[in-house]
Each structure stands twice: as structure tokens, then as C-alpha cells.
Amino acid sequence: MNIIRNLYIHERFFKYLSVLVIVFLISFWFQIFYTIAWFMATILGVLFFTDVYLLFHKKQGIEASRILGDKFSNSDLNKIPISVKNKYNFKVGIKIIDELPEQFQKRDFEILAEIESKETSNFEYKVTPYERGEYFFGNLNVYVSSFLKLTSKRYTFQQNQKVAVYPSYLQMRKYEFLAMGNRLTEFGLKKIRRIGHTLEFEQIKNYVYGDDVRTINWKATAKKSQLMVNQFQDEKSQPIYSVIDVGRVMKMPFENLKLLDYAINATLAFSNIAIKKNDKAGLLTFSKKVDTIIAASNKKTHLNNINEALYNVNTKFTDADFGYLYAFIKRNIKQRSLLLLYTNFEHISSLKRQLTYLQAISRQHLLVVIFFENTELNSLINENAEDVQSIYHKTIAEKFDFEKRLIVKELESRGIFAILTKPKNLTVSVINKYLEFKAKGFI
């Protein structure tokens, strides 16, 4: 029964069978071909059973394994190695069919190859997930055929393997390397050490004209018999929160990835860089209420907490309540912080409904509102309008595009920083803005 379950007829057998049928058909008119047809059928039968014996006489003629990591990186190419060892005494042809998770919606996967006797071959293919969560791989099927190529034997390995898809840690590592050398910046910035009045003491120095008289150290002045002042430098460990709107506006997909997932990938990459630069990174997600809050910290293990929280974030079907967000921030975030608010505004009217709350937040914190260009409109804006309908579509698309730029001006006029970016450029834009703030001493 096991033989019947794993026995498959090779396509070459059907070609031979077609030739045999044609010879039998010709023998209806030419008698001599009847004998030839039976001779061919006998040879085909002998070869068929010989092929079956070659493939099935050894219980385990093939060993194969699919090598999966602990997790995949969302929206990145993830490599999946496959190792196949031929234990037969002859060269075999193989067809590998891996049952991919349903999220990939790929039903035509196969790898064709030949393996010499007693040799091991390694193969690799790549997949790009676009959703976070658990992915279940089915069977790894290897169909083996001998040099006769009349039948195939199926081997099945590694049933139901599971892998978790996390926010893009590959992107995080890539931008960490670039940002540490300030290679991401587009502003020609250089590192500036600003003299501040925070609590991080630097040194006592002689007073020079222009120093703040409020920093005079009277004890040191008495000892030295000349004016001495305390010098402070800006604190490095500034609290920085990534505030993610998980309302329905973040469900919009661009290039197979939702706006929420772009924001999540950017948050992970940015939080890593902020911690590397000795700042404290935190996370807050909200819709009608605050769903997740992780206090800002710069501990080495803190990034894992942020990563696990981001893994479980999902969008809601309701609009976000910015009034509740303002009240929550006022109660729970006492120290002045940099707040990176990921949301989306399609119309100036939608911004004006929330502008009061954004202004209230910006009075207590350094607020940056991050929203997205609608890149799907670019094709309409750039096309040549040849009829009334296309003119109408192009005009509406240009109106939406103009309103996006108008939203930026409106926010900046109220003293709120804004980033309008294409979804795929989000991570770079956020990190650049952070490095710009660091260089200018805003944080």
C-alpha cells in the first residue's frame, strides 16, 4: 500500500505510451505492426517494473531537510535553504515541491535538479512575507526518478514547520550600520556639542564674557579668587516615543504592505538607533484607547520588548481618538520627550479636526507628525489627459496631492514638525529627522 501511495507516473511514460497506441492504431491497416506493437509493449512493461524496483528496493534512498530560522523579517527577502542527499547507487533526477504557507498564495513552486550517487546538493529559494504572524509550512516533497524516467517515488519530510514573521529586523540592521556613520543624512550635518543647562554636569571653568551669570559657582570663585562657572552639557538619555495610530487610516496598502507595517518597521529600526545613541526609546499605540505602552528606556534588552510588542500590533476598524491620546500623554509622560506620531491625513479637513489636540501635545513635547504620500496617484498625475474623463481624474489627483503639501504647511505654521514621505522611504526619513534634531540640539 505504501508503494501505491508514493508511486507516481513520470510524464515520459505517457509519451512512450502514446507512441505505443499509435503503433497499435497503424497495425489496424498494416498487420506487421501488430507484432511490433506487442514487442514494444513488453519492453515498456519490463522497463516500467525495473524502474519501480530501482526506486523502491531501498527504503530510504533520499534524505532531505528544509532549514528554517527562528523568525522571518517582514517585507524582506528571506532565504530558505534545502539540503538533499542521494543514497542511491545511481544518478537520480529530483523535483522538489515545498508546500508554502497560505499567506504566500504560491501554488507553482518546484525545483528541478539532478544529483550524483552518494552526493549531497544544497538548494535555496527566497520568500517575501507581507504580514506579521505565524506561518505554517506543509510537507517538503521530493519526487525521485531514475535514469529510466518512467516512474517517480515521493519522499515526504518535515511536516508542519512553523516560523514567526517579525517586524523587519534585516532593515533594522542595515540602517543601524548606515546611521552610526551618519551616512543616512541628506543635510550635510556634522556633530555639534551644544552647551546646555540640564542636570548633566561637565566641568568648572573660568568665567568669560558671555557666560550665563546664573551658572557662577560661588564656592569655586571664593577658592580661586576669580569668577568660576559650572558648565553643563545636554543630556544624552532623552526619552523618545514612537506613537503609532492603529486606526483604520493605517490599513491602506502600498506595494503589498499596509501603512501600519511600514510604521512598525520604521519604529523598530529607529528605536535601535536611538538606543545605540544612548537615548531612551519607548512605544505607544492607540486608536479609541491606548493599546500598548512601553516606557522609554535604553537598556540593551529593551529593544526585544519593543520588538515583541510590535509583533502583536494590529489595526482597528475605528478612527483614532486624538483627544484621548492627549489626555493619556499628559497623565503618563511627565518629562519633555520627542514624540514621533505615525498617522495619515488624506484631507486638510481631517487634520483640522485633530489640530487642537496636536497643538496641545506640542506645547509639552517635541512633536513630529509623520504621514504618507499617496503614491498610487502619481500615475494619474503624470499621465497626459486626452479626454474629459482623464482631465477630471488628473485634476482630482493633483488636488489630493496639493492637500498633502498644504497639511505640512498648516502643521509647521502651528509650530509642529511634519514629515510627508513615501511609504517605502519612511524609515530613512524618520532616522534622518532624528539625526537632524540631534545635530541641532533639539534633543
Residue 181 sits in the same domain as residue 64: no
330-334 mean pLDDT: 92
Residue type, 413: S
Q: Is the pLDDT of residue 197 over 50?
A: no
Same domain, 132 and 4: yes
304: confidence class by pLDDT, cuts 50, 70, 90: very high
Contacts of 270 (CB under 8 A, 6+ apart): 242, 281, 340, 427, 430, 431, 434
Percent over 70 (pLDDT), the chain: 93
Q: Which of 210, 233, 256 is the last residue of a domain?
A: 233
pLDDT score recorded for residue 186:
45
pLDDT of residue 200: 56
Q: Indicate whether 194 pLDDT > 60.
A: no
Answer yes or no: do 94 and 214 share one domain.
Answer: no
Residues 75 and 181 in one domain: no
Residue 188 has pLDDT above 50, yes or no: no
| Measured distance CA(439)–CA(184) in Å, rounded | 13
pLDDT band (50, 70, 90) for residue 182: low
pLDDT of residue 189 exceeding 60: no
Backbone conformation region of residue 396, classed left if phi is above 0, alpha if psi is from -120 to 50, else beta: alpha
Name the pLDDT band for 192 (thresholds 50, 70, 90): very low
**273: amino acid identity, one letter:** I
* CB contact at 8 A, 312 and 291: no
- Mean pLDDT of all residues in the chain? 88
Cα distance between residue 443 and residue 437, in whole Å: 6
- DSSP per residue, 277-302: TTPEEEEEEESSSEEEEEEEE--TTH
Mean pLDDT (whole number) for 145-152:
93
CATH number (domain holding residue 144): 2.60.40.10
Count CA atoms closer than 13 A to 193's CA, side-chain side: 4
pLDDT exceeds cutoff 80 at 195: no
Answer yes or no: do 288 and 406 share one domain.
yes
Other residues' Cβ atoms within 10 Å of the Cβ of residue 84: 24
* Residues 229, 206: Cα–Cα separation, whole Å: 6
Over residues 333-358, mean pLDDT = 93
The total of other beta-carbon atoms located within 10 Å of residue 245's CB is: 25
Task: Look up the domain containing 216 and give its range.
Answer: 196-233
The whole-angstrom separation of Cα 76 and Cα 69 is 14
Question: Rounded to a whole number, what is the largest CA-CA distance in the chain?
Answer: 130
Tally of residues, the chain? 443
CB count in 10 Å sphere of residue 358: 20
Look at the chain and report how many structural domains it folds into.
3
Same domain, 177 and 56: no
Asked whether residue 37 falls in the same domain as residue 18, the answer is yes
Distance CA 67, CA 80 (A): 6
**pLDDT tens by residue, 238-267:** 899 999 999 999 999 998 899 999 999 999
Which H or E element spans position 155?
strand 151-157
Identity of residue 374: N
Give the count of beta carbons closer than 10 Å to the beta carbon of residue 300. 8
Residue 187 has pLDDT above 50, yes or no: no
Statement to judge: residues 151 and 57 lie in one domain: yes
pLDDT in tens, 57-67: 888 899 999 99
Q: Are residue 97 and residue 74 in the same domain, yes or no?
A: yes
Same domain, 428 and 349: yes
Q: What is the pLDDT, as a whole number, of residue 160?
A: 82
pLDDT at 222: 85
Asked if 430 and 376 sit in the same domain, the reply is yes
Q: State how far the Cα of 256 lies from the Cα of 45, in Å rounded to an integer.
A: 52
Which is more confident, 105 or 366? 366
pTM of the model: 0.80
Q: How far apart are CA 406 and CA 350, in angstroms?
A: 12
138 and 16 in a common domain? yes
308, 286, 67: which is closest to 167 by C-alpha? Answer: 308
CATH number of the structural domain spanning residue 253: 3.40.50.410
Q: Evaluate if residue 196 carries a pLDDT over 50.
A: no
Q: Of the given ranges (36-40, 115-119, 172-176, 369-373), which has the lowest mean pLDDT?
A: 172-176
